[in-house]
Amino acid sequence: MKNYAAADEIMYHIGLSKEMLKGAKYALLPGDPGRVEGLAKALGEAEFLASHREYTSYLAEVAGHSVLVVSTGMGGPSVAIGMEELARIGIENFIRVGTTGSIQEELNLGDVLISKAAVRLEGASRAYAPVEYPAVADLDITFALREAAIELDVPHMLGISASTDTFWPQQERYDSFTGYVLKDLQGKLKEYQALGVTNYEMEAATVFVVAEVFGLRAGAICGVIAKRTSSEAVAPKEVYRLSEKRFQAVVKKALEILLSSK
């Protein structure tokens, strides 16, 4: 994938141009615009860049390098739109930083899950590659995330995520508004558990496929905020805050590893 934007050309959806990135090659992709500032400032010095639709961005400095933090909203379509534009202005490495629901007993609330691959239950990635094409994370980014988690003594697992377009039906939550889950979707959670899938989330598969078909690199790390072996519900905010502290520290250290290996 060629990046062809002029230095000062502002991308339509994300409101960013190449020159605003000051040479940044890495982008961290949280979903929630409200989490961008905290993540950027946890990395180091950070400045606000733009806020358009779901895309709020800050530029942070890590080990002397500019790193972009930009929210993508929820789900495959908006993350794919963001990635297309980011690739055009020179981003080559994407790290999805989000939240997830564990479906395995050993993956606990507050832990960190590093995705090595994802099951493509979402629709957006099918516009980029047929469904037989694997959604796999970049090995260097994945190993850097794991090395950082080990060094920082953060409870973590490497796993296969199942990426869905919907929070309720495809993740088999029966407390949805309809109280009903289509027959075709019933029993899937058990099936994925049996196959060793670790968690549900909504972006990793799109991020991996889009990066791979563009010839770019991607990884994903999520804080566990729901444990589906015991409840359909999302845990209280303190659990998110615990996992947030952990994944922020892991991402910072992983970036230091990746940026110093060039």
Instruction: Provide the binding-site residues for ligand URA, judged by CB under 6 A.
Output: 99-101, 167, 171, 200-202, 225-226, 234
Q: Smallest distance from the beta carbon of 257 to ligand URA, in angstroms?
A: 27
Catalytic residue among 35, 65, 96, 173: 173
Catalytic residue among 54, 85, 203, 244: 85
Of 17 and 170, which CB lies nearer to ligand URA in the complex structure?
170
Question: In the bound complex, which residue of the shown chain has the CB atom lying closest to ligand URA?
Answer: 101
Residue 252 parent element (H or E): helix 237-260
Q: Smallest distance from the beta carbon of 226 to ligand URA, in angstroms?
A: 4
Of 115 and 171, which CB lies nearer to ligand URA in the complex structure?
171
Orientation angle between helical segments 237-260 and 139-151, nearest 10 degrees: 120
Query: Is 156 designated active site?
Result: no
Residue among 206, 234, 203, 236 nearest 221 (CA): 203
Query: Is 228 designated active site?
Result: yes
- For CA atoms 205, 104, 159, 260, give the dihedral sign: positive
For residue 91, give Cα distances in angstroms to 25, 68, 193. 4, 9, 35
Q: Smallest distance from the beta carbon of 244 to ligand URA, in angstroms?
A: 13
**How far from the centroid of its chain's Cα atoms is residue 192's Cα?**
20
Query: Is 13 designated active site?
Result: yes
Q: Smallest distance from the beta carbon of 105 to ligand URA, in angstroms?
A: 15
The answer to whether the beta carbons of residues 39 and 69 sit under 8 Å apart is: yes
Q: Smallest distance from the beta carbon of 186 to ligand URA, in angstroms?
A: 17
Of 142 and 161, which CB lies nearer to ligand URA in the complex structure?
161
For residue 53, give Cα distances in angstroms to 70, 78, 158, 206. 12, 10, 32, 20
Query: Is 173 designated active site?
Result: yes
The answer to whether the beta carbons of residues 1 and 216 sit under 8 Å apart is: yes
Of 101 and 219, which CB lies nearer to ligand URA in the complex structure?
101
130 contact partners, CB below 8 Å, separation of at least 6? none
Of 85 and 201, which CB lies nearer to ligand URA in the complex structure?
201
Catalytically active residues, by annotation = 13, 85, 173, 228
